[in-house]
Chain A
Amino acid sequence: MLTLQLLVNGIALGAAYALCALGFVLVLNATGAVNFAQGDMVMAGGFVAIALVSLWPVPGLVLLPAVVLITGLLGLVFSAIGYFPLKSRPPVSVFISTIALGVIFQNVAMVTFGPEPRATPPLLVAGNVDVGGLTVSIQAIAVILIAALLVGGQHVLLMRTRLGQSLRATAQDREMAAALGIRVNLMIALTFALSTALAGVAGLLLANTYFVTPTDGTNYILKAYIAATIGGWGRLHGAIAGAMLIAVFEVMFPALPLLIPVLPVAIHGMFSQTSASIVLYLALLAVLFLRPQGLFGEIAQRRA
């Protein structure tokens, strides 16, 4: 039972990580640049929801479209300031500009909302439900469902629509896409908007259970970066799988002594939250050494 409980928690956490990682990879593919502010966009999504709920106290699900819209617009502004003026410069210029914008977002949030942790409203209602003896929070179920819907919707958008074709064409080869009449700059701007909207939703989802502070973005960008590396640099489904693996590992590893009772008591101390981080980063190094293309192979060839 504990295994299932941990698994549900891990999947809920991974679902939100996946939205962040997905946005990260979308921009990576479209521009070839690493957006180090993607984690700060998660933070921004949380605070946008908090600002909205202070004006309009409704469940998170009702706020969701507004959060998507506002963070999407934020993505357009982000691309106008942080990407387009530097797009013909070396990639290092873009990722430094994303770091700078991330710091600006952090400090704007700090000045506007203050430093204390805040929580977004639950998507539906707070509380738990009993599912066959398993106590599952309603928020966790809602997070998994919303994330699944968004990932599915994003897949449909990219694979089944003309806009998606244009976005993919731009991501694959900007010069060729432009030669075919695709408005490459518009597609890149829309990619930024889609990416930040996904991050914004992740912020709304995460901040109810895990709260949000202006400096939380750093943690999320690390998770997105590791997910993209493990899954395969530039692979969308790889990023989702990587995010899930990270979250489930983070939740399950420290509890292994309970899940595997035959483990000798003498080594129980090795299975802590701290050692989970060590093992996670060792796994990242192992992937880089042994399978640098990641679990699903690599699309983007240049890494920051």
Chain B
Amino acid sequence: MRYSWLTGLAALLMLSPVHAQQSAPAHVGIPVLVPITGFLSLEGTSQRNGAVLAIRNAPPNLRVQYDVVDTSVSPEGAVNALERALDRGSVSAVVASMLGTQMLAMLPIALERKVPLITVSGTAQITEMGNPYVFRFFPGDDVTKVAHVRYAVEELGLRRLALVYQTTAYGQSGRRHIVENLAKHGLSPVFEEALEVQVRDMLPVLSKAMAANPDGILIHLHSGPTALFIRQAAAMGVGIPIIAGSAMHQPPTAALLEPEELRGVCAEANASPVSGGTPEMERFLQQYREMFSVEPDGFALGQYDGTMMVLEAVSKGARTAAEVARALADMRYEGIAMTYKSDGRGNMAHSAVIMCFDGRTRVPKVVKRYDNITGALTP
């Protein structure tokens, strides 16, 4: 009788939640809702890969459940995907589209359902709406364009800069921040022009830019146009530095150009994973190549770091989505690309790097690092 009482007590203890918490892996639901098709598919695929690799590297005390859903590029596609994912079961956080219009559509749902959205979207507005459930792990233009302009002006000593940017929201935002930062140095562009994404021939804009006698060119273009611009510049032999936006750091962009065409070209980004540099970065690079058979970019790394931060929050005890959101808002996380901490609005990334190509390979070297540009990391 006494024996059976002890056995019963032991069984009760084994089934208790306390015991389950100590031994059974905690459940984490992280739907990955990103644009895998449509015009942002290159970046969306990087986002997916980064998140999936992070989930594969989840701490052993976690059991992660995830689905990848293609949101394409319509806001309603993203909203439907989010609602379906939330209705399916317990969700700790959502890897959410980097497309700003989709994020804006998803934000009210995240607020209503108290679920954090983890993204690498560059759209400034998403963290300006007072929504405590959005966390951006890629530096916005308020960070990257500071590095872009400071490198050109302070490191290269350029004073007469031409500016070529895209007509899209991405391009307009970059242009605004570049012009503002140039003004802080007492400068304004000697030439500026916006290009549509469909523009094929860069000779006219380059001819006009060179006619303004610049000593350097800042470009803020998407991947294809960046490669077209740099190829045309090489063919013309412009002979002045070109400092590009983050599209140039993406390996598929560099793959479109011959190494010689890239000589003297620099670019800003959150990081340059293909350049390696630290043991953690090298490990990430190797795993990424093995798993996806492509080269990673900064978007993949940003999403990897963001997802790992979520997993660490859950591993340390955050159980509900609201608890994960609170942890993300309060934690400081040492990622592979940089140190992440919320500025109180969900902007987690505050550093940028400048990388340059030497004309011999398509792998750039990081030449300058700008940390804590916003000051959010300062205790």
In the assembled complex, the CB of A281 is this many whole angstroms from the nearest CB of chain B, namely 12
Chain B residues 226 to 282 lying within 8 A of chain A, measured CB to CB, are 227-228, 235-236, 250, 252-253, 255-256, 258
Contact of A9 among B198, B201, B252 (CB under 8 A): B201
Does A159 reach chain B (CB closer than 8 Å)? no
Q: How far is the CA of A107 from the CA of B37 in the complex (A)?
A: 7
Q: Are B45 and A115 in contact (CB under 8 A)?
A: yes
Q: B224–A251 contact, CB under 8 A?
A: no
Determine the residue in chain A with the shortest Cβ distance to B197.
A219
Assembly CA distance A9 to B204 (angstroms): 10
A135 at the interface (CB under 8 A from B): yes
B227 proximity list for chain A (CB < 8 A): 117, 211
Tell me, in angstroms, the Cα distance from A118 to B251 when the chains sit together: 12
- Docked Cα-Cα span, A10 to B250, in Å, equals 29
Binds A, one of B18-26, B98-106, B132-140, B188-196: B188-196
Please tell me if the beta carbons of B256 and A119 are within 8 angstroms of each other in the complex: yes
Which of A65-73, A167-175, A236-244, A253-261 makes up part of the contact surface? A253-261
Instruction: Compute how far the CA of A210 lies from the CA of B224 in the bound complex, rounded to whole angstroms.
Output: 8
Find chain B residues with CB under 8 A from A2 CB: 207
Inter-chain contact A277/B235, CB cutoff 8 Å: no
Please name all residues of chain B whose beta carbon is closer than 8 Å to the beta carbon of A272 when the two chains form the complex: 193-194
B223 lies within 8 A of A116 (CB): yes
**What is the total number of residues of chain B having a CB less than 8 Å from a CB of chain A?**
36
B201, A250: Cβ atoms closer than 8 Å: yes
Q: Decide: B199 and A6 in contact? CB cutoff 8 A.
A: no
Which of A117, A137, A209 is the one whose CB lies under 8 Å from B252?
Answer: A117
- Which of the residues B36, B44, B195 comes within 8 Å of A273, measured between beta carbons? B195
Q: Which of B39, B195, B208, B227 has the most CB of A within 10 A?
A: B208
B253 to chain A: which residues have CB within 8 Å? Answer: 117
Q: Are B167 and A274 neighbours in the complex by a CB distance under 8 Å?
A: yes
Which residues on B sit within 8 Å (CB–CB) of A13? 200-201
Closest-CB distance, A115 to chain B (whole angstroms): 3
User: How far apart are the CA atoms of A45 and B213 in the complex, in Å?
Assistant: 40
CB neighbours of B42 from chain A (8 A): 114-117
Chain A 61-80, CB-CB to B under 8 Å as 1, else 0, gives: 00000000000000000000
Of A5, A116, A213, chain B has the most CB atoms within 10 Å of the CB of A116
Q: A110-B37, A117-B252 are in contact. Are A257 and B199 (CB under 8 A)?
A: no
Interface size on A, residues (CB 8 A): 38
A126 interface hit (Cβ, 8 Å): yes
Please tell me if A93 contacts chain B, counting CB pairs below 8 Å. Answer: no
Q: Are B228 and A210 in contact (CB under 8 A)?
A: yes
Known: A115-B42, A211-B224. A257 touches B208 (CB 8 A): yes
Given the interface contacts A116-B223, A117-B252, does A135 sit within 8 Å of B228 by beta carbon? no
Whether A10 pairs with B201 at a CB distance below 8 angstroms is yes
B367 at the interface (CB under 8 A from A): no
1/0 contact string of A1-17 vs chain B (CB within 8 Å): 01001100110010000
Q: Which of B37, B236, B255 contacts A135 (CB 8 A)?
A: B236
Interface presence of B41 (CB below 8 A): yes
**Using Cβ atoms and an 8 Å threshold, which residues of chain B touch A135?**
235-236
- Which of A45-88 touch B at CB < 8 Å? none
B38 within 8 A of A: yes
Contact with A along B58-79 (1 / 0, CB 8 A): 0000000000000000000000
Cβ 8 A contact of B198, one of A110, A128, A219: A219
A214 to chain B, nearest CB (A): 8
| Contact B224 A117, beta carbon cutoff 8 Å | yes
Residues of B within 8 A of A209 (CB): 200
B205 within 8 A of A: yes
Q: Which residues of A contact B199 (CB under 8 A)?
A: 250, 273
State the Cβ distance, B45 to closest chain A Cβ, in Å: 6
Q: What is the distance, in angstroms, from B58's C-beta to the closest C-beta of chain A? A: 26
Q: A135-B235, A211-B256, A215-B38 are in contact. Are A273 and B204 (CB under 8 A)?
A: yes
Per-residue B-contact encoding for A193-218, CB less than 8 Å = 1, 0 else: 00000000000000001110111000
Pairwise interchain contact B223-A273, C-beta atoms closer than 8 A: no
Residue of B nearest to A115 (CB): B41
Which residues on the B side are within 8 Å of A215 (C-beta)? 38-39
CA A250 to CA B200, docked complex, whole Å: 9
Q: Is the CB of B252 within 8 A of A116?
A: yes
Residue of B nearest to A272 (CB): B193
Instruction: Specify the chain B residue showing the minimal Cβ separation from A250.
Output: B201
The CA-CA distance from A10 to B204 in the complex, in Å, is 11
Q: How far is the CA of A189 from the CA of B41 in the complex (A)?
A: 34
A197 and B331 alpha carbons, distance in the complex (Å): 58
Interface contact A9-B203, CB-CB below 8 Å: yes
Nearest A residue to B45 via CB reads A115
The docked-state distance in angstroms from the alpha carbon of A157 to that of B233 is 41
Which chain A residues lie closer than 8 Å to B45 at the CB level?
114-115
Q: Indicate if the CB atoms of B196 and A274 lie closer than 8 Å.
A: yes
Q: How far is the CA of A10 from the CA of B201 in the complex (A)?
A: 8
The contact string, 1 if C-beta is below 8 Å from chain B, for chain A 244-274, is 0000001111110110000000000000111
Given A211-B224, A215-B39, A273-B199, 15 more pairs with CB closer than 8 A: A13-B201, A106-B37, A114-B42, A115-B41, A115-B44, A116-B42, A118-B256, A210-B228, A211-B228, A215-B38, A251-B204, A255-B208, A273-B194, A273-B195, A273-B205
User: What would be 19 A-B contacts, judged by CB atoms less than 8 Å apart?
Assistant: A10-B201, A13-B201, A114-B42, A115-B42, A115-B44, A115-B45, A117-B224, A135-B236, A137-B235, A210-B228, A214-B41, A250-B199, A251-B203, A255-B204, A255-B207, A257-B208, A272-B194, A273-B195, A273-B205
Residues of A whose CB lies within 8 Å of any CB of B are: 2, 5-6, 9-10, 13, 106-107, 110, 114-119, 126, 128, 135, 137, 209-211, 213-215, 219, 250-255, 257-258, 272-274, 277
Q: Which 5 A-B pairs have the closest CB atoms?
A: A115-B41, A116-B252, A255-B204, A254-B204, A115-B42
